[in-house]
Structure 1
Amino acid sequence: MTPEGVVEVRQRYEAGTGMLITELRTSAGLLRRADALTLRSGARRSGRRPRPGGGG
């Protein structure tokens, strides 16, 4: 989903959440899209994948 005539794009994470906010600005206005990353209970948000065999 991308509007025509985009002049600026910004992305940021909502503080303390897994919500990615994307803003697309055109001469006609602003489209703001929120994407949520959901994690299972107890999952880490470090961005690192555990090594096979539990090596961390």
Structure 2
Amino acid sequence: MPQLNPNPWLFIMLTSWLTLSLIIQPKLLSFTTTNPPSHKPTMTTKTTPWTWPWI
């Protein structure tokens, strides 16, 4: 049963995981966001309750 033999795919999986975590991920995380969050004060709006016509 070839599914139980870890030799062909285990090395590929470990290599791809290490490549992703050690090379690609730091490069992706170094990018700055294109739309940084602004520090505007939050404005609260006054809401009025809804009056249901059938009550």
**Structure 1 and Structure 2 fold alike (TM over 0.5):** no
Higher relative contact order (CA closer than 8 Å, sequence separation 6+): 1
Bigger fraction of residues in strand: 1
Which structure: larger Rg?
2
- TM-score, length basis structure 1: 0.22
Bigger fraction of residues in helix: 2
- TM-score, length basis structure 2: 0.22
